[in-house]
Amino acid sequence: MDIVDKSTFNNSWYNPGGSTFKRYTWYFVNVLVFINPLVPFYGIKRKLLKLYGAKIGKRLIIKPGVNIKYPWLLEIGDYVSIGENVWIDNLGKTTLHDHTTISQGAMLLTGNHDFKSTSFDLIVKEIVIEKGAWIGAQSTVCPGATCRDHSILTAGSVATKDLEAYGIYQGNPAVKVKTRQIV
């Protein structure tokens, strides 16, 4: 017996873009090259992301174990670093501006569900990580959040709303604990 009546689930409006062929081939490329810890080569990963429609700047470092849902919804600026085991669950557009760091195990989640609806409707909202922002290890950026210029989301924290420029945020939900001073 199913706990959830699947006939009431409503996400029929959602289309991630890309052809069916593109989505299926990306699935295998993602598993074999990106999630696979035995493929440490940045160059091939950059080329594959571009081939699948991602907009990529120069000097992207993308470590092993990174899981990317849909590269054609991903825009990455210059000098960006994405650490081991990062999950970019980008059902919607995800933008990483120049000089951003996404530390190991972090999650960028653009999708959620409307728990108030009996049909548990899908909700998709864009995520933006602005210039110089740092997303700490094992932290989560939730749908619709923008991490402003040079903000920091500390390890294990959860951004459920926008982070102010130069703010350092901690906790679940993340709250501002101090202002970042860059010398």
Per-residue pLDDT of the chain in tens (183 residues, 90 and over written 9): 344 444 455 677 788 999 999 999 999 999 999 999 999 999 999 999 999 999 999 999 999 999 999 999 999 999 999 999 999 999 999 999 999 999 999 999 999 998 888 888 899 999 999 999 999 999 999 999 999 999 999 999 999 999 999 999 999 999 999 999 988
pLDDT at position 53: 97
Return all residues near 91 (Cβ < 8 A) that are at least 6 apart. 14, 16, 69, 70, 73, 110, 111, 122, 124
Q: What CATH number labels 18-179?
A: 2.160.10.10
pLDDT at position 2: 44
C-alpha distances in Å from residue 179, one per residue of 114, 158, 183:
34, 18, 13
Which of 94, 32, 92 is closest to 64 using CA atoms?
Answer: 32
pLDDT at position 150: 98
